[in-house]
């Protein structure tokens, strides 16, 4: 009932209001940008956004589920729901962010859900700033967030040895599942190499706070991180 009321208010606000007023009805986009930090390890949004661990979120409003492009590897369940007609709008995104597995039982999205209704409204207000549909979008668009750790072009250009990465992967696979399943611990299968490398260096520099991952990453050379990234990116 609450979700339906929120949706009705959102739809009613489309008529006769300025873009800024409409954004306020949905939520606080500035606060939503801060909340997006929880999403930024997997998703990009804004100018130059690319598919990473998750698909980019530009033009998410009005987009059919599982349809960002032919190259991104969605879970079978999400792709099937898109084929069945699921379209991302305020109500469906609100439900998915609240509890991803309740809407799509076999989604690969490793996120437990955002339970606070206001938090979800603020996050969706922020994401609407990057969508051209529906029409009631604020004219000013926020900028994309910077990478959590800046690495030199030389470090990012290292081509990892997949065979060596497979040899090194045994310690990773004591916690992370080779199937890519997300059961309490995020899946790392299919991560784009650059995202994997950035995440590991963020642990290595203790920017990401997990103490075990900080210890594990601290043992690895740049070449070993690149090898693991290459292995897990192509692991089926």
- pLDDT tens for residues 145-203? 456 678 899 999 999 999 999 999 998 988 887 776 666 677 788 888 888 898 898 88
- Of 93, 96, 128, 88, nearest to 112 (Cα)? 96
Average pLDDT over the chain reads 78
Do 232 and 169 contact (CB within 8 A), yes or no?
Answer: yes
pLDDT per position as a tens digit, 113-137: 898 999 999 999 999 888 875 544 4
* CATH of residue 63: 1.10.760.10
Q: Read off φ and ψ for residue 60, nearest 5 degrees.
A: -70, -35
Alpha carbons 39 and 36: distance in angstroms, whole number: 5
Tell me: do 34 and 108 sit in the same domain.
yes
Q: Is residue 146 part of a domain?
A: no
Report the number of distinct structural domains present in the chain.
2
CB atoms near residue 141 (< 10 Å)? 16
User: Which distant-in-sequence residues (6+ apart) come within 8 Å of 193 by Cβ?
Assistant: 160, 226, 229, 230, 233
The pLDDT assigned to 75 comes to 83
Residues 120 and 167 in one domain: no
Let me know whether 72 and 161 are in one domain: no
Name the band, by pLDDT with cuts 50, 70 and 90, for residue 5. very low
- 165 shares a domain with 66: no
Same domain, residue pair 44 and 99: yes
Residue found under tokens 């601290």: 218
101 shares its domain with 209: no
**Residue range 49-62: average pLDDT?**
89
Instruction: Give the structural domain span for 187.
Output: 153-234
Tokens 């290595």 appear where?
Answer: 204
| Cα distance between the two ends of the chain | 41
Of 95, 59, 65, which is closest to residue 81 (Cα–Cα)? 65
Name the band, by pLDDT with cuts 50, 70 and 90, for residue 21: very low
Same domain for 117 and 201?
Answer: no
Supply the pLDDT for residue 73: 83
Model pTM?
0.55
């Amino acid at each position: 009932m609450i979700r339906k009321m929120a949706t009705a208010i959102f739809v009613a606000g489309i008529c006769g209001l300025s873009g800024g007023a409409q954004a306020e009805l949905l939520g606080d986009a500035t606060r939503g940008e801060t909340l997006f930090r929880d999403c930024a390890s997997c998703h990009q949004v804004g100018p130059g956004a690319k598919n990473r661990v998750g698909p980019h979120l530009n033009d998410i409003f009005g987009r059919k589920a599982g349809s960002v492009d032919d190259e991104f590897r969605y879970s079978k369940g999400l792709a099937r729901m898109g084929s069945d007609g699921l379209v991302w709008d305020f109500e469906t995104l609100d439900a998915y962010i609240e509890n991803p597995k309740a809407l799509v039982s076999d989604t690969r999205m490793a996120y437990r859900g955002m339970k606070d209704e206001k938090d979800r409204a603020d996050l969706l207000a922020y994401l609407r700033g990057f969508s051209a549909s529906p029409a009631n979008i604020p004219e000013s668009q926020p900028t994309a967030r910077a990478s959590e750790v800046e690495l030199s072009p030389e470090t990012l250009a290292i081509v990892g040895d997949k065979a060596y990465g497979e040899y090194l992967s045994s310690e990773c696979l004591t916690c992370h599942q080779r199937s890519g399943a997300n059961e309490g611990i995020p899946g790392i299968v299919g991560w784009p190499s650059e995202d994997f490398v950035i995440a590991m260096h963020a642990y290595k520099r203790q920017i990401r706070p997990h103490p075990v991952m900080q210890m594990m990453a601290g043992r690895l050379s740049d070449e070993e991180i690149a090898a693991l990234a290459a292995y897990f990116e192509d692991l089926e």
